[in-house]
Structure 1
């Protein structure tokens, strides 16, 4: 999952390699984006902390674990999006 400072988000999953998924996420994100989380056979999530004005990513075995991971990395904030692989 990739995000820009202005909130554009690129998501990609079920690719054969991490590099292919990260490139697809970057291609799906508008502006100056960076990859903030990658995951394999699990889920990824993005949280925005309006106090720090930062986006944080997390990953985990389930959507809930990915959301908690992102929230912990962000130091709190607002859940933005998540996605899980199909396997």
Structure 2
């Protein structure tokens, strides 16, 4: 009877070791740097796509203010050239 208990305990220990090794393998796969980077890039792409779609929809609903904002941004970016044109004219 004692040897049967020992054999059962050894089998149970071997099964537990196998479960732990499978869990470690799964964790290593999930924590693989390449996989983490791929998942992060997919998440960023999804968020970027959602933001782009929301922006396009906002511009479609409000074309006037969007055109005004684009004009202001263009003037701001070209401010040095615009000032240069006025200085040369004098």
- TM-score, length-scaled by structure 1: 0.19
* Larger helix fraction of residues: 2
Higher relative contact order (CA 8 A, sep 6+): 1
- TM-score, length-scaled by structure 2: 0.19
